[in-house]
Amino acid sequence: MQYYWLKQLLLLFFSGKSTWRLNGKVTTQKIVDQLMSELRIQVGNLCQFLPQDKVHQFSKMNAKELLNKTVEAVGEPKLVEDQQR
């Protein structure tokens, strides 16, 4: 199993930008996005990543929405496709 260390430095006060480090080396947003895709990390899926400011939104989901987000979070891409048909 390979481990990754990802860190985002927010420089919003000075420049409105942020920089990323992957395993201690500066990297681009594109590389971070590719890695997240490969690892199937879905920060927009509230069943996989639930920041405090989204708890209210999560609690308002109905059963069908929760099922869809759960399948997306734990299922293989083909399972998601099959479930959506």
Where residue 14 falls (left for φ over 0; alpha for ψ -120 to 50; beta otherwise) is alpha
Structure tokens at 78: 């083909």
pTM of the model: 0.49
- CA dihedral sign, ordered 70, 72, 76, 78: positive
Report domain extents, the chain: 1-39, 43-85
β-sheet bridge partners, residue 18: 10
Q: Are 21 and 7 in contact (CB under 8 A)?
A: yes
The label of the residue with tokens 């509230």 reads 46
Q: pLDDT by residue (tens digit) across 36-81? A: 888 777 777 766 666 677 777 878 888 888 888 787 777 677 776 7
How far apart CA 48 and CA 8 sit, in angstroms, is: 19
